[in-house]
Amino acid sequence: MTTLTDTPVAATPARRRIRLRGIDLARSLAVLGMIAVHSLDDYDADGNPTMSYSLSAGHASAMFAVLAGVAIAFLSGRRRLPRGPQSRGTAASLVARAGMLGLIGLSLGYTEIDYGVVILPYYAVMFLLAVPLVYLGTRTLAVLAVASAALMPALSQLVRPHLPEPFTRQLSWETVLVKPIESLANLLFTGEFPVVVWMTYVLVGIVVGRLDLSSLRINAWLTGFGALLVSLSATLSWMVLHPFDGLNRLEAITDPDTLAEVLAFGSDGTVPTDTWWWLGVNGPHTGTSLDLMNTIGSSLLVLGLCLLLFRIGRPPLARAVNIVTAPLVAVGTMSLTVYVGHIMFINSDFDMYDATEGYLRQVLVICVVALAWRATAGRGPLEGLVTAVTTRVRRAVESRGGRR
């Protein structure tokens, strides 16, 4: 069993398939959850958060980022990279992947931010900042993840009062070229997915990706630890807001409607900087330490359950699980293509349906297309493009290093 060491245990082909299917299933749930946040109603007739919003808001995008860290761990061989031509090739491929994600994300800058903030430019910066992390040991990364979760939200509170206001439109080629400083501030601190805070998810994902995810014990540990973090986050937030009088402090300086909305629906990536008591909130997209604890916990919980699901040993039941989850696993293998297609769809004239019908139609089309594409072409089109570019870059760097 692999714990927090630098040398992963090799998995048999069968266990490796279980691991990959579980990760693909978790990735599909993340992308479908993000689509739900964009497509379904946020609140019901009484003004309360809908069940779909409560389950997906903040949690789906966080799991997307955690799984990005898992992917980075896999791309770097699930171990600490040594110095040398091969490691330089891996690092160069991560830089190329970041460039491709940024290229695709900024090209979606024409879309309306009210329909959904495009995560890909933020995702690109996360991949870029992850390059030095793959040279660190797993224990070091675990310590950095804990420190990042505790300190980065506080750093954000200190820095943001001195930065420009966040954009009210998507990051695009225009914003990057015309307003580079404001775009950088938006990416790192003030946007919907502030990279300085969200790198915590990537750190956690790299640590998780280096574990032996084929191990039943590790799968169960992820599930239990994730549930513990979710419960602990809710408990600590309640304590800060009630026994420690944080809620009264917030009520004294905040508009009641604004406070009620943040507590019920979360925020847009950050919380106000007028008082430190905001850091006691754990709502979606608030970017507080308790929000990170909550969403990291839910991500580990879902990933652990997805991995455990494919460990069912009895053949009839195992076959049923494989059949039922096949469409979702297929979606997970082409999540980038699905996400981009969804963003383009909700910003087009083809999206003429109400919330529930529109979401169900998207899910149905996505599952059918993903199954058909996987059965015939394999890797998704955008995934194939990114892989082709990054593979070429890696081989070129390794070849140049070998000649030297």
Give the whole-angstrom CA distance, residue 22 versus residue 306: 5
Identify whether the C-beta of residue 281 lies closer than 8 Å to the C-beta of residue 45: no
How many CA atoms, within 13 angstroms, populate the side-chain half-sphere of residue 97? 25
The per-residue pLDDT for range 218-274, each reduced to its tens digit, is 999 999 999 999 999 999 999 999 999 999 999 999 999 899 999 999 999 999 999
How many CA atoms, within 13 angstroms, populate the side-chain half-sphere of residue 351? 18
Question: Which pair of structure tokens corresponds to residue 135?
Answer: 């040279």
Question: Which pair of structure tokens corresponds to residue 256?
Answer: 């009641």
The per-residue pLDDT for range 164-206, each reduced to its tens digit, is 999 999 999 999 999 999 999 999 999 999 999 999 999 999 9
Q: Indicate if the pLDDT at residue 400 is higher than 80.
A: no
Q: How confident is the model at residue 8 (pLDDT cuts 50, 70, 90)?
A: very low
Give the whole-angstrom CA distance, residue 312 versus residue 159: 49
pLDDT at 377: 86
Give the whole-angstrom CA distance, residue 379 versus residue 36: 24
From residue 151, how far is each of 66, 156, 288 by CA, in Å? Answer: 18, 9, 10
- In sequence order, the 6+-apart residues with CB closer than 8 A to the CB of 82 are none
Question: Which pair of structure tokens corresponds to residue 49?
Answer: 């958060």
Give the whole-angstrom CA distance, residue 116 versus residue 161: 25
The per-residue pLDDT for range 303-329, each reduced to its tens digit, is 999 999 998 777 788 888 889 999 999
Q: How confident is the model at residue 292 (pLDDT cuts 50, 70, 90)?
A: very high
Alpha-helical regions (H) of 130-194: 138-159, 173-178, 180-185
Best CA proximity match to 299, nearest among 70, 73, 63: 63
Q: Residue 97 — left, alpha, or beta (φ > 0 → left; ψ -120 to 50 → alpha)? A: alpha
| Residue of higher predicted confidence among 351 and 296 | 296
Dmax (CA) of the chain: 68
Best CA proximity match to 106, nearest among 89, 115, 118, 93: 118
Q: Indicate if the pLDDT at residue 39 is higher than 90.
A: yes
This prediction has a pTM of: 0.93
Identify whether the C-beta of residue 201 lies closer than 8 Å to the C-beta of residue 297: no
Q: How confident is the model at residue 2 (pLDDT cuts 50, 70, 90)?
A: very low
Give the whole-angstrom CA distance, residue 381 versus residue 90: 22
Give the whole-angstrom CA distance, residue 99 versus residue 329: 26
First to last CA, the chain: 38
